[in-house]
Amino acid sequence: MAEIPEMVKINRIVRENSDTRTFFFGEKMEITPGQFLMVWVPGLGEKPFSVSYMGEETGITVFRRGKFTERLFSMKKGDIIGVRGPYGNGFGIKDNACVVGGGCGIAPLGPLIEKLDDPLVIIGAKSSDGLIFSKRFAGAKIATDDGSSGFHGFTTDLLEKVIRNRRFGMVYACGPEIMMKRVFDMCEENGTECQVSLERYVKCGFGICGHCDIDGFMICKDGPVFCSYQLRQMKSFGSRAKLKSGKKVSVAEYAGWRCR
Protein backbone atom coordinates (compact mmCIF):
# COMPACT_ATOMS: atom_id res chain seq x y z
CA MET A 1 0.00 0.00 0.00
CA ALA A 2 2.64 2.43 -1.11
CA GLU A 3 1.36 5.98 -1.27
CA ILE A 4 3.80 7.83 -3.44
CA PRO A 5 2.70 10.29 -6.13
CA GLU A 6 2.22 8.62 -9.49
CA MET A 7 2.67 10.75 -12.58
CA VAL A 8 -0.51 11.09 -14.63
CA LYS A 9 -1.10 12.86 -17.91
CA ILE A 10 -3.38 15.88 -18.17
CA ASN A 11 -5.94 14.74 -20.71
CA ARG A 12 -7.75 18.01 -21.15
CA ILE A 13 -8.29 21.33 -19.42
CA VAL A 14 -11.63 23.10 -19.22
CA ARG A 15 -11.96 26.78 -18.41
CA GLU A 16 -14.72 27.23 -15.83
CA ASN A 17 -14.26 30.98 -15.43
CA SER A 18 -11.37 33.45 -15.59
CA ASP A 19 -9.71 32.08 -12.45
CA THR A 20 -10.97 28.52 -12.36
CA ARG A 21 -10.08 25.54 -14.50
CA THR A 22 -10.84 21.85 -14.42
CA PHE A 23 -7.99 19.45 -15.14
CA PHE A 24 -8.87 15.97 -16.35
CA PHE A 25 -6.63 12.92 -16.02
CA GLY A 26 -7.10 9.81 -18.13
CA GLU A 27 -7.14 7.58 -15.10
CA LYS A 28 -10.33 6.09 -13.70
CA MET A 29 -10.10 5.91 -9.91
CA GLU A 30 -12.21 4.41 -7.13
CA ILE A 31 -13.54 7.53 -5.44
CA THR A 32 -16.31 8.55 -3.07
CA PRO A 33 -17.65 12.07 -3.69
CA GLY A 34 -15.94 14.43 -1.23
CA GLN A 35 -12.57 12.68 -1.29
CA PHE A 36 -9.47 14.53 -2.39
CA LEU A 37 -6.19 13.90 -4.19
CA MET A 38 -2.74 15.14 -3.23
CA VAL A 39 -1.39 16.83 -6.33
CA TRP A 40 2.37 17.08 -6.72
CA VAL A 41 4.29 19.45 -8.94
CA PRO A 42 7.88 18.16 -8.73
CA GLY A 43 10.20 20.79 -7.40
CA LEU A 44 7.33 23.03 -6.28
CA GLY A 45 5.08 21.32 -3.77
CA GLU A 46 2.08 19.13 -3.12
CA LYS A 47 -1.45 20.24 -2.20
CA PRO A 48 -4.89 18.73 -1.73
CA PHE A 49 -7.62 19.12 -4.33
CA SER A 50 -11.10 17.67 -4.19
CA VAL A 51 -12.24 15.38 -6.96
CA SER A 52 -14.81 17.30 -8.98
CA TYR A 53 -15.43 14.75 -11.73
CA MET A 54 -15.36 10.99 -11.43
CA GLY A 55 -15.90 8.24 -14.00
CA GLU A 56 -13.78 7.36 -16.99
CA GLU A 57 -11.85 10.57 -16.42
CA THR A 58 -11.00 12.05 -13.05
CA GLY A 59 -11.12 15.82 -12.70
CA ILE A 60 -10.09 18.47 -10.20
CA THR A 61 -11.35 22.02 -10.36
CA VAL A 62 -8.79 24.59 -9.34
CA PHE A 63 -9.14 28.19 -8.34
CA ARG A 64 -6.07 30.28 -9.14
CA ARG A 65 -4.88 32.00 -6.01
CA GLY A 66 -1.15 31.49 -5.38
CA LYS A 67 2.05 30.17 -6.85
CA PHE A 68 1.06 26.52 -6.83
CA THR A 69 -2.22 27.00 -8.64
CA GLU A 70 -0.54 29.54 -10.91
CA ARG A 71 1.85 26.81 -11.98
CA LEU A 72 -1.02 24.42 -12.59
CA PHE A 73 -2.60 27.06 -14.81
CA SER A 74 0.58 27.19 -16.88
CA MET A 75 0.28 23.51 -17.71
CA LYS A 76 -0.94 22.14 -20.99
CA LYS A 77 -2.71 19.03 -22.19
CA GLY A 78 -0.16 16.17 -22.23
CA ASP A 79 1.89 17.52 -19.33
CA ILE A 80 2.30 15.18 -16.37
CA ILE A 81 1.65 15.85 -12.71
CA GLY A 82 1.90 13.67 -9.62
CA VAL A 83 -1.17 12.38 -7.89
CA ARG A 84 -1.71 10.24 -4.81
CA GLY A 85 -4.94 9.30 -3.16
CA PRO A 86 -7.91 9.41 -3.05
CA TYR A 87 -7.88 10.38 0.61
CA GLY A 88 -10.35 11.16 3.30
CA ASN A 89 -13.89 10.43 4.17
CA GLY A 90 -16.41 11.53 1.55
CA PHE A 91 -20.09 12.49 1.73
CA GLY A 92 -22.67 10.08 3.04
CA ILE A 93 -25.61 9.83 0.64
CA LYS A 94 -29.02 10.90 1.99
CA ASP A 95 -32.35 11.40 0.27
CA ASN A 96 -34.17 14.72 -0.01
CA ALA A 97 -31.02 16.77 -0.03
CA CYS A 98 -30.05 20.37 -0.48
CA VAL A 99 -26.56 21.13 -1.82
CA VAL A 100 -24.96 24.53 -1.37
CA GLY A 101 -21.71 25.45 -3.12
CA GLY A 102 -19.97 28.79 -2.75
CA GLY A 103 -17.33 29.72 -5.33
CA CYS A 104 -14.82 26.99 -5.93
CA GLY A 105 -16.51 25.10 -3.08
CA ILE A 106 -18.81 23.58 -5.66
CA ALA A 107 -15.87 21.36 -6.75
CA PRO A 108 -16.31 18.42 -4.31
CA LEU A 109 -20.08 18.77 -4.57
CA GLY A 110 -20.07 18.05 -8.31
CA PRO A 111 -19.79 14.27 -8.14
CA LEU A 112 -22.05 14.25 -5.06
CA ILE A 113 -24.87 15.98 -6.91
CA GLU A 114 -24.61 13.39 -9.68
CA LYS A 115 -25.10 10.63 -7.13
CA LEU A 116 -28.02 12.22 -5.32
CA ASP A 117 -31.62 11.68 -6.34
CA ASP A 118 -32.96 15.07 -7.47
CA PRO A 119 -31.38 17.35 -4.89
CA LEU A 120 -32.01 21.05 -4.63
CA VAL A 121 -28.76 22.67 -5.72
CA ILE A 122 -27.68 26.22 -4.88
CA ILE A 123 -24.64 27.60 -6.65
CA GLY A 124 -23.24 30.95 -5.60
CA ALA A 125 -20.53 33.37 -6.64
CA LYS A 126 -19.63 37.05 -6.34
CA SER A 127 -21.08 37.72 -9.75
CA SER A 128 -22.44 35.81 -12.74
CA ASP A 129 -19.10 35.35 -14.49
CA GLY A 130 -17.71 33.68 -11.36
CA LEU A 131 -20.28 30.88 -11.40
CA ILE A 132 -18.91 27.34 -11.70
CA PHE A 133 -20.82 24.28 -12.94
CA SER A 134 -24.00 26.32 -13.62
CA LYS A 135 -24.23 24.63 -17.04
CA ARG A 136 -23.33 21.19 -15.60
CA PHE A 137 -26.25 21.54 -13.20
CA ALA A 138 -28.69 23.49 -15.28
CA GLY A 139 -31.50 23.05 -12.76
CA ALA A 140 -29.54 24.69 -9.96
CA LYS A 141 -30.69 27.81 -8.19
CA ILE A 142 -28.19 30.63 -8.60
CA ALA A 143 -27.17 33.26 -6.05
CA THR A 144 -24.80 36.15 -6.78
CA ASP A 145 -23.58 38.76 -4.33
CA ASP A 146 -24.16 41.51 -6.89
CA GLY A 147 -27.37 40.12 -8.30
CA SER A 148 -25.92 39.80 -11.80
CA SER A 149 -27.58 36.43 -12.06
CA GLY A 150 -30.28 34.61 -10.10
CA PHE A 151 -30.95 35.49 -6.50
CA HIS A 152 -29.36 38.73 -5.29
CA GLY A 153 -27.40 37.81 -2.14
CA PHE A 154 -25.32 35.14 -0.51
CA THR A 155 -25.98 31.43 -0.95
CA THR A 156 -26.78 31.32 2.74
CA ASP A 157 -29.48 33.94 2.33
CA LEU A 158 -31.03 31.86 -0.39
CA LEU A 159 -30.71 28.71 1.72
CA GLU A 160 -32.42 30.48 4.60
CA LYS A 161 -35.43 31.21 2.41
CA VAL A 162 -35.47 27.68 1.10
CA ILE A 163 -35.32 25.80 4.37
CA ARG A 164 -38.05 27.95 5.82
CA ASN A 165 -40.45 26.15 3.45
CA ARG A 166 -38.94 22.72 3.11
CA ARG A 167 -37.53 20.15 5.49
CA PHE A 168 -34.42 18.50 4.00
CA GLY A 169 -33.01 15.11 4.88
CA MET A 170 -29.54 16.57 4.57
CA VAL A 171 -27.89 19.85 3.70
CA TYR A 172 -24.49 19.55 2.00
CA ALA A 173 -22.22 22.58 1.82
CA CYS A 174 -18.78 23.62 0.68
CA GLY A 175 -17.33 27.09 0.27
CA PRO A 176 -15.62 29.70 2.41
CA GLU A 177 -15.58 28.53 6.02
CA ILE A 178 -17.64 31.48 7.18
CA MET A 179 -20.35 30.38 4.76
CA MET A 180 -20.19 26.77 5.98
CA LYS A 181 -20.41 27.92 9.57
CA ARG A 182 -23.48 29.95 8.71
CA VAL A 183 -25.05 26.91 7.01
CA PHE A 184 -24.30 24.75 10.04
CA ASP A 185 -25.75 27.29 12.48
CA MET A 186 -28.87 27.62 10.39
CA CYS A 187 -29.29 23.86 10.22
CA GLU A 188 -28.79 23.54 13.96
CA GLU A 189 -31.51 26.12 14.64
CA ASN A 190 -33.69 24.41 12.15
CA GLY A 191 -32.98 20.89 13.39
CA THR A 192 -31.62 19.75 10.04
CA GLU A 193 -28.56 17.54 9.62
CA CYS A 194 -25.74 18.81 7.49
CA GLN A 195 -22.41 17.71 6.03
CA VAL A 196 -19.71 20.19 5.11
CA SER A 197 -16.28 19.80 3.57
CA LEU A 198 -13.60 21.64 5.53
CA GLU A 199 -10.14 22.83 4.53
CA ARG A 200 -7.06 22.85 6.68
CA TYR A 201 -3.36 22.69 5.89
CA VAL A 202 -2.67 19.10 4.86
CA LYS A 203 0.75 17.45 5.08
CA CYS A 204 0.70 13.64 5.03
CA GLY A 205 -2.87 13.21 3.84
CA PHE A 206 -3.22 9.84 5.51
CA GLY A 207 -3.75 10.51 9.17
CA ILE A 208 -0.32 10.27 10.71
CA CYS A 209 1.27 13.68 11.15
CA GLY A 210 -1.72 15.29 12.83
CA HIS A 211 -1.14 18.61 11.15
CA CYS A 212 -4.66 18.92 9.72
CA ASP A 213 -6.06 18.58 13.23
CA ILE A 214 -9.17 20.49 14.12
CA ASP A 215 -9.99 19.83 17.77
CA GLY A 216 -8.90 16.22 17.65
CA PHE A 217 -10.38 15.48 14.23
CA MET A 218 -8.16 14.96 11.23
CA ILE A 219 -9.31 16.74 8.09
CA CYS A 220 -7.45 14.27 5.90
CA LYS A 221 -8.74 11.10 7.52
CA ASP A 222 -11.86 11.77 9.58
CA GLY A 223 -12.84 14.49 7.08
CA PRO A 224 -12.68 16.53 4.93
CA VAL A 225 -16.44 15.93 5.13
CA PHE A 226 -17.87 16.26 8.62
CA CYS A 227 -21.41 15.83 9.83
CA SER A 228 -23.33 17.92 12.35
CA TYR A 229 -22.48 15.56 15.20
CA GLN A 230 -18.77 16.10 14.61
CA LEU A 231 -19.07 19.81 13.88
CA ARG A 232 -20.75 20.35 17.25
CA GLN A 233 -17.55 19.14 18.94
CA MET A 234 -15.33 21.50 16.98
CA LYS A 235 -14.77 24.73 18.78
CA SER A 236 -12.40 25.85 16.05
CA PHE A 237 -14.90 25.39 13.25
CA GLY A 238 -15.48 28.83 11.78
CA SER A 239 -13.06 30.42 14.18
CA ARG A 240 -9.48 29.10 14.16
CA ALA A 241 -7.11 27.26 11.88
CA LYS A 242 -3.44 26.32 11.88
CA LEU A 243 -0.73 27.74 9.67
CA LYS A 244 2.03 25.60 8.20
CA SER A 245 3.98 25.77 11.48
CA GLY A 246 0.98 24.69 13.50
CA LYS A 247 0.40 28.21 14.83
CA LYS A 248 -3.29 28.77 15.40
CA VAL A 249 -4.81 31.91 13.90
CA SER A 250 -8.29 33.12 13.10
CA VAL A 251 -9.96 31.51 10.13
CA ALA A 252 -9.93 34.90 8.43
CA GLU A 253 -6.16 35.21 8.84
CA TYR A 254 -5.74 31.61 7.66
CA ALA A 255 -7.89 32.31 4.63
CA GLY A 256 -5.86 35.40 3.84
CA TRP A 257 -2.55 33.54 4.18
CA ARG A 258 -4.06 30.80 2.11
CA CYS A 259 -4.90 33.18 -0.72
CA ARG A 260 -1.92 35.43 -0.50
> Which residues of the chain form contacts with ligand FMN (CB under 6 A)?
208-209
Beta strands 213-214 and 80-87: pairing type? unpaired
Please, what is the minimum distance in Å from the beta carbon of residue 28 to ligand FAD?
19
Quick one: which of 186, 220, 225, 251 contacts ligand FES (CB under 6 A)? 220
Query: Do residues 110 and 57 touch, judged by C-beta distance below 8 A?
Result: no
Q: Is 82 an interacting residue with respect to other proteins (CB under 8 A)? A: yes
Distance CA 122, CA 157 (A): 11
Query: Do residues 183 and 192 touch, judged by C-beta distance below 8 A?
Result: no
Q: Which is nearer to ligand FMN, 208 or 259 (CB)?
A: 208
Total site size for other proteins, rule CB under 8 A:
37
Dihedral over alpha carbons 14, 254, 181, 18 (to 10 degrees) = -20
Q: Is 232 an interacting residue with respect to other proteins (CB under 8 A)? A: no
Distance CA 140, CA 97 (A): 13
Distance CA 131, CA 18 (A): 10
Cβ-based neighbours of 51, under 8 Å, separated by 6 or more: 29, 31, 33, 35, 36, 37, 58, 59, 60, 86, 108, 111
Distance CA 42, CA 5 (A): 10
Quick one: which of 2, 74, 117, 167 contacts other proteins (CB under 8 A)? 2
Residue 224: name its binding partner from ligand FAD, other proteins, ligand FMN, none (Cβ under 5 to 8 Å by kind): ligand FAD
Q: Is 258 an interacting residue with respect to ligand FAD (CB under 6 A)? A: yes
Q: Is 203 an interacting residue with respect to ligand FES (CB under 6 A)? A: yes
Quick one: which of 15, 80, 126, 189 contacts other proteins (CB under 8 A)? 80
Residue 181: name its binding partner from other proteins, ligand FES, ligand FMN, none (Cβ under 5 to 8 Å by kind): none
Task: List the x/- string, 174-203, binding to other proteins by CB under 8 A.
Answer: ----------------------------xx
| Residues at the interface with ligand FES (CB under 6 A) | 202-205, 207-212, 218-221
